[in-house]
Amino acid sequence: MLPEKLSTDLTSLREGEARLAILIEMVVAGDGTVQDSDIYRASVCNRAKLAYNSVAAWLDGRGPAPPRLLAVPGLDEQLRIQDRVAQAMKGLRHRHGALTLDTLEARAVFDGDVLSDLRPDEKNRAEELIEDFMIAANSVTAKYLKRQGFSSLRRVLRSPKRWDRIVTLATGLGERLPPEPSTLALEEFLVKRRQADPERFADLSLSVVKLLGSGEYALELPGERLEGHFGLAVKDYTHSTAPNRRFPDLLTQRLLKAALAGKPPPYGNDELAALAQHCTEQEDQAAKVERQVRKSAAALLSRRASASGSTPS
């Protein structure tokens, strides 16, 4: 994240305070298709600070509506509408071949400053709602920059080079995949396996993710068309929705601001290409650090449990 003064204050949607923003407006049909969109600068005000877990429980019918949600007239119905729209957009993506994957990552739990446990960090419906709108917003942003004749920093997950190993993996489970990469066929296989063996689906998902390879940032020039995002089944895709924690998003928002103001791009093509490579390399390094930290945390908890004679949870 950015320095605390920025990430928790100046760039944070604090309740009751106006914030400058780039607003992405979308008209979404009942089937999840984005039929029209616009991008403009605006001032926004957060009327209620809500938490993912409590909103998810309410959406799923497992808990009451959060008090702050009920305190703002009409917000409950607005969230219900947003949830329906997000589910429709997700359904459309999966019909186009977006992959159903369920990889569990460990979340560190602290007692003060002391690591006390590692627990699965599972997504919930509220988090998925935000994710679905972010995916749509990122696609709208990429298409907008293309229409403006701007070069852009795309987020790409290329067609997997190790598709033959994914085919072999499916064959070992009694399923067949075509010899050439197909998101639709892979998604059908994943859905079938999730239903057949839900307990082992996270392990299967992890194997598929490793074989798909890592995403990367790439420069797309005006008139070009790069590969899209194989896992999301989206052709035009960038990262733009988290400028306070990801540098590629900040770059994209700078491009957007220039396009909206009718100014020339703030970066040349050579500079954008170098930044794309740099961001990809830094992301790979950060991922290695995260994996090492999780392994170290697990080893620490295991050693502590062995010393006390208990079993880690």
| Statement: residue 39 has pLDDT above 90 | yes
Q: Give one DSSP letter per residue of the chain, joined into a string.
A: ---HHIIIIITS--BT-EEEEEEEEEEE-TTS-EEEEEEEEEEEEB-----HHHHHHHHTTSSPPPHHHHHSTTHHHHHHHHHHHHHHHHHHHHHTT--------EEEEEETTEEEEEEE----HHHHHHHHHHHHHHHHHHHHHHHTT--EEEEEBPPPTTHHHHHHHHHHTT----SS--HHHHHHHHHHHHHH-GGGHHHHHHHHHHHH---EEEEE-TT-----BTTTTBSS-B--S-TTT-HHHHHHHHHHHHHHTTPPPSS-HHHHHHHHHHHHHHHHHHHHHHHHHHHHHHHHHHHHHHHHT----
What is this structure's pTM? 0.90
pLDDT single digits (tens) 135-178: 999 999 999 999 999 999 999 999 999 999 999 999 999 999 99
pLDDT at 85 over 90: yes
In this structure, the chain runs to a length of 313
**Is the pLDDT score of 29 beyond 70?**
yes
What amino acid occupies position 213? G
The Cβ of residue 113 has, within 10 Å, a number of other Cβ atoms equal to 5
Cα gap 37→143, rounded to integer Å = 10
Whole-number Å distance between alpha carbons of 240 and 153: 10
pLDDT in tens, 195-235: 999 999 999 999 999 999 999 999 999 999 888 999 999 99
pLDDT of residue 7: 80
The pLDDT-based confidence of 78 (bands split at 50, 70, 90) is very high
Say what the pLDDT of residue 70 is. Answer: 94
Q: Is the per-residue pLDDT at 312 higher than 60? A: no
Please, is 206 exposed, middle or buried when counting C-beta atoms within 10 Å of its C-beta (0-12, 13-18, 19+)? middle
**Structure confidence by residue, pLDDT tens digits, 120-131:** 777 899 999 999
pLDDT > 80? residue 57: yes
In the predicted model, what is the mean pLDDT of the chain? 92
| pLDDT at residue 313, rounded to an integer | 54
Judge whether 138 and 237 are in contact, CB under 8 Å: yes
